[in-house]
Amino acid sequence: MRELREEDLGSYVNFLRMDPQHFDHLLGLVGPSIHKQDTYCRDSISPGERLAVTLRFLASGDSYRSLSYLYRIGKSTLAEIIPATCLAICDVLKRPYMKVPNTQAEWRAVADKFDERWQFPNCIGAMDGKHVAIKAPRNSGSMFFNYKNFHSIVLLALVDADYKVIAYDLGVNGRNNDAGIFGNSELYHHLEENTLNVPPPRPLPGRQEESPFVLVGDEAFPLKTYLLKPYPGRDLTDERKIFNYRLSRARRISENVFGILVNRFGVLGQTMSLEPDKATLVTEACLMLHNYLRSENDHRYQQEVQRPVEGNWIGIARHPGNRAADAARNTRDQFCVYFNTNGQVPWQYNRF
């Protein structure tokens, strides 16, 4: 580590997924929580080494045995250090870097950024769900077995236009379908009960009729007044095809975030040989570090590969939904009309 830091900065960044300055800053935040007292028998493993081996585990997904050879730390000791350090990362970074907007002004700022970057007004987040592959837990039967024929836990994430995660639900077993995952999430209940302090409806640019602030998702989610999804079917009118394109353009931010995560944290691209609760903790630590690096080291993220990732990191199942309420369909129709009139952009007609 010392040699890489002094002589090969590029390899250091590749090894830990952050430069020395951000490692030192993160160590200053996390260090007090993972510091251990020396004893008369031996010195404790330093906070810096505890953080480094944890970051290497997240970056590479190496087994504890492989890391034990690299760091000369026993496998059983690593099995204690890595979860404890992940927990400390989550505790320390969650409040400053995983902040859910809680004022109307903050939600409007998110919506304005979506409008500025992706020409989708009144959008307060893009949502998607992904399966994180894990080894089959003991005596679990088919509880974690998903429709793609592997065991998993599910991550449901809401992201903003800056590729930051602003809310998430994590740890549900992969057997659940989309309706069960979203319907049982804390985010769903907050949205249904309108406890997130989302601003009241406002007109879309150039129009008189008021439209609500909405999330955007794919076919896996139910259509709600606060959640838009594409029009179903193949024989769609050109107007509906344009709406689906514009919605997909905003929604793909969530796919891009998952692409960044799995490219930066290799542990997410492999099958974790961990119990579900520890796999959940590891995934949560990756989310916290993602937001931390996105906030503190923004220029590197502009160079990341921002694309959907297949394999063990895949979307939740698409199932035919129930009939949406009239109000939800009317909301989608409002946005459809807007994207074909006041809100049209020249390139949308080149898609067909």
Cα angle 317, 323, 327; round to 5: 115
Q: pTM of the predicted model, to two decimals? A: 0.89
CA distance 97 to 159: 13
Backbone angles phi, psi at 341, to 5 degrees: -130, -100
CA distance 197 to 187: 13
CA distance 36 to 14: 28
| Count of other CB atoms within 10 angstroms of residue 273 | 12
Place of tokens 């930051």: 164
**Alpha carbon distances (Å) from 245 to 32, 178, 213:** 48, 22, 19
β-bridge pairing 214-216 and 123-133: parallel
Per-position pLDDT tens, the chain of length 352: 888 888 888 898 889 999 999 999 999 999 999 998 888 788 889 999 999 999 999 999 999 999 999 999 999 999 999 999 999 999 999 999 998 898 999 999 999 999 999 999 999 999 998 899 999 998 888 889 988 889 999 999 999 999 999 999 898 888 876 667 788 888 888 889 989 999 999 999 999 999 999 999 998 889 999 999 999 988 899 999 999 999 999 999 999 999 999 999 999 999 999 999 999 999 999 999 999 999 987 655 544 434 434 444 444 444 444 455 889 999 999 999 999 999 999 888 887 6
